[in-house]
Amino acid sequence: MRPARLIARAAAYLERHGVESPRATAEILLMHVLGTDRAGLYARAEGLDARQAREFGRALCQRCAGTPLQHLTGEQAFHRLRLEVRPGVFVPRPETEILVEGARRELRGAEHPNIVDPRTGTGALALALKRERPDATVLATDVAPEAVELARLNAGRLGLEVDVLLGDLLAPVPEDLRGWVDLVVSNPPYVPEEEYEDLPPEVKAEPREALVGGPEVYERLTAEAVRWLRDGGVLAVEIHAEAAEAVSAILGRSFADVRVHRDLAGRDRVVTGRRP
């Protein structure tokens, strides 16, 4: 069967099982199995061999059973980067690119800035910012050893010099950077406990501790950031769409010029503040 027909059938199967974006999902999985891009997929005249057919069928079943698409392909595009992803480490989301853009704007005018990304996961924010600002010194931390390992691997594969350290928030940052950090940027776990049960299976396939959090994660981060940032340095955080007021109030206790930034859908997505 030629790819176009195969995709139509696979998309119908995914749709029957309630999978979001069934056609795009079928295409991505088939491109992955065949090791080709979109143009190669549709230019292909022959069908699948037995191994490819088995692999594609298995991937479709796993996706229907709730395995995240990115765990099946092993990668996720993020802000002009292609990151390796693995089960056990949070998959970067497109909405976090708003945080990269907000952080970049805040860094205008700072030369050779020092940037820290506590809670880095795959390294997404740290690596995207290093790519945009090659003059920056970028450090990333995570409490999960598997995240540290993956972020280091992504940094190596992409040839981006980012130091990834194991530990709690800013604790692993070298002491001589105290008072010299220009930007602390973080996408912390912020799904309210009471929303967790209703999350779709592919989201629940991620580590719970990378998802669930509340105001306390912003309180700790604010208290630590204020000790590491230079005067005029910036804290930029991603937030739950309903949390802008609460998070702004937390930052407002220690930071000036606290602002809420919206995503393209008009939802509150990022809060920034400047150390006075």
Distances (CA, A) of 186 to 7, 38, 158: 38, 34, 21
Alpha helix ranges (H) inside 65-177: 69-73, 97-106, 124-132, 145-158
Cα separation, 216 vs 213, in Å, equals: 8
| Binding-site string for ligand SAM from residue 184 to residue 213, where x marks contact by CB under 6 A and - marks none | ---xxx-------------------xx---
Residue placing its CB nearer to ligand SAM in the complex, 113 or 118 = 118
Of 115, 169, 181, 243, the one binding ligand SAM (CB under 6 A) is 169
- State in angstroms the smallest separation of the CB of 196 from ligand SAM: 13
Tokens of 62: 């796993």
Applying CB under 6 A, which part among 8-16, 23-31, 155-163, 182-190 lies near ligand SAM?
182-190
Distances (CA, A) of 37 to 32, 113, 159, 207: 8, 37, 23, 30
Phi-psi domain of 168 (left: phi exceeds 0; alpha: psi -120 through 50; beta: other): beta
- State in angstroms the smallest separation of the CB of 28 from ligand SAM: 19
- State in angstroms the smallest separation of the CB of 144 from ligand SAM: 4
Indicate whether 120 belongs to the interface with ligand SAM (CB under 6 A): yes
Indicate whether 90 belongs to the interface with ligand SAM (CB under 6 A): yes
Indicate whether 125 belongs to the interface with ligand SAM (CB under 6 A): yes
Of 144, 158, 162, 251, the one binding ligand SAM (CB under 6 A) is 144
**Residue with nearest beta carbon to ligand SAM:** 121
Residue placing its CB nearer to ligand SAM in the complex, 102 or 118 = 118
- State in angstroms the smallest separation of the CB of 124 from ligand SAM: 4
Indicate whether 102 belongs to the interface with ligand SAM (CB under 6 A): no
The length of the chain, given as a count of residues: 276
Of 141, 154, 222, 248, the one binding ligand SAM (CB under 6 A) is 141
Question: What is the Cβ-side half-sphere exposure of residue 256, based on CA atoms within 13 angstroms?
Answer: 5
Phi-psi domain of 271 (left: phi exceeds 0; alpha: psi -120 through 50; beta: other): beta
Indicate whether 222 belongs to the interface with ligand SAM (CB under 6 A): no
SS3 270: strand
Cα separation, 59 vs 69, in Å, equals: 9
How does strand 137-142 pair with strand 162-166? parallel
Residue placing its CB nearer to ligand SAM in the complex, 47 or 94 = 94
Residue placing its CB nearer to ligand SAM in the complex, 22 or 118 = 118
Indicate whether 166 belongs to the interface with ligand SAM (CB under 6 A): no
Of 3, 22, 113, 121, the one binding ligand SAM (CB under 6 A) is 121
Which residues, 6 or more positions from 215, have their beta carbon under 8 angstroms from its beta carbon?
243, 246, 247, 250
> Which residue ranges make up the site for ligand SAM (CB under 6 A)?
90, 92, 96, 118-122, 124-125, 141-144, 147, 168-169, 187-189, 209-210
